[in-house]
Chain A
Amino acid sequence: MQDWDVKQTIDQQAAPELSEREIRDIVDAVLQGDTEKFGRLFDLLHNRIYALAWNLTGNYDDAMDVLQECFLRAYRALSSWKGKARFATWLHRIAVNTAIDYIRREARHHEKRITGSDDEKMDKEIRSLCEGVERRTPLMEAERKELRRRLIHAINQLRGMQRRCFILRYFGNLPLKEVALIAGCGEGTIKRHLFRARERLRQLLKEG
């Protein structure tokens, strides 16, 4: 069983680390109108956000959409970053909220499909999914896509903090300590949320 870690595969493109002081200077410059400097923040953190987005969406286009949306929201909310949390932590908070919006959209789409029971459309979708996929059988691809849909539908039914913690931990591959920082509570609380999230997901997947 392979557990792909996006961070490892794209680390060679990672930008050099900046101190929080340097990031503060960049943010101040952006807030004063030098929007070009926002590009440096993108260079610094795009890999980590992409990792989360990829694991969640499983396809390049959607992952890039989530990534772009996250940075746009960050830009628009930039003045609300007061430096209490690290910039990366703050950005992850936005990323997870963007991811939750994606999950809601996908879950709605999934529900529509179930209630619509449009078999012909589903067949077409599965066939188009299978076209052009290298070294994967059509069945595997369809299987994986259906599993993703079901899981996303189930995650959408989790409570707020459980959902947030689950996404950060298992889609963002973040250590507990970092999840705790982003969620703004202790590691013990995070462990409890994760435990309940896993239990609930198991139950939902069984029922589904």
Chain B
Amino acid sequence: MEDDSRHELRFRTEPEQEVSKVVIQGEKSMRDDGELGTLGPCMAALKTKPVDPSIQQWESVKGEVMRRIADSRHGFFTTLHDRITATDSTMLKVFYYAVVVMAVAIAAAGIAVGVFYLIEALTAEPAHAIEIILR
């Protein structure tokens, strides 16, 4: 048994008990590829028998996906986020992020110009401040 195949886990099992120590260890992976080596037992311990959904359950999940699709709105940022998710191209990701940064910069500049204009107008004619704001 190799030392690498030992993975100690410490956690409390009951409030009144001391910290419990469990050592998960196993022989070298029995997977066909044998690639995982000493990580094999660790991964094998995680792989449980899957819940095999019935046709009804699949239909229900499919129905939920289709319902959410029907209800979904294509916001600018949602679409952009999903496009970023769908690509592994660094250039495209940089492009998408640049679009987001530009959109934020344009919005910030617009707000800054508005505030600047307001301050200018208010300081020029303080007597008519309310009228200027309401205009």
Which of B52-76 touch A at CB < 8 Å?
A: 52-53, 55, 58, 61-62, 64-66, 68-70, 72, 74
| Pick from A10, A94, A170: contact of B85, CB under 8 Å | A94
Distance of A64 Cα from B26 Cα, bound (Å):
30
**Which residues on A sit within 8 Å (CB–CB) of B85?**
73, 77, 94, 97-98
Chain B nearest Cβ from A113, distance in angstroms: 10
Q: Mark A74-97, 1 if CB is under 8 A from B, else 0.
A: 111100110000000010011001
**Which residues on A sit within 8 Å (CB–CB) of B12?**
119, 122-123, 126
Distance of A46 Cα from B89 Cα, bound (Å):
25
Distance of A165 Cα from B51 Cα, bound (Å):
25
Looking at chain A's contact residues, is the secondary structure mostly helix, strand, loop, or mixed?
helix
Cβ–Cβ contact B35 & A64, under 8 A: no
- Say if the beta carbon of B22 comes within 8 Å of chain A: yes
Cβ–Cβ contact B15 & A123, under 8 A: yes
**Which residues on A sit within 8 Å (CB–CB) of B15?**
119-120, 123
Cβ–Cβ contact A58 & B46, under 8 A: yes
- Say if the beta carbon of B128 comes within 8 Å of chain A: no
**Which residues on B sit within 8 Å (CB–CB) of A202?**
4, 38-39
Given A35-B70, A77-B82, A143-B24, A9 and B58 contact (CB-CB distance below 8 Å)? no
Cβ–Cβ contact A4 & B48, under 8 A: yes
| Pick from B27, B65, B89: contact of A68, CB under 8 Å | B65
Which of A109-144 touch B at CB < 8 Å?
A: 119-120, 122-123, 126, 138-139, 142-144
Chain B nearest Cβ from A38, distance in angstroms: 6
- Say if the beta carbon of A27 comes within 8 Å of chain B: no
**Which residues on A sit within 8 Å (CB–CB) of B48?**
4, 58, 144
Which of A1-26 touch B at CB < 8 Å?
A: 1-4, 6, 9-10, 13
Chain A nearest Cβ from B60, distance in angstroms: 9
Distance of A63 Cα from B53 Cα, bound (Å):
11
| Pick from A4, A120, A170, A184: contact of B88, CB under 8 Å | A184
- In addition to A10-B50, A46-B58, A147-B24, 8 A-B residue pairs with Cβ atoms within 8 Å of each other are A1-B27, A68-B64, A72-B72, A75-B72, A122-B11, A139-B22, A198-B36, A198-B37
Could you pull out 28 A-B pairs where Cβ atoms are within 8 angstroms? A1-B44, A2-B47, A3-B47, A9-B50, A35-B69, A38-B65, A39-B66, A46-B58, A46-B62, A67-B61, A68-B68, A75-B69, A76-B74, A77-B85, A93-B87, A94-B85, A97-B86, A119-B12, A126-B12, A138-B13, A143-B45, A147-B45, A147-B46, A151-B42, A170-B43, A183-B88, A201-B39, A202-B39
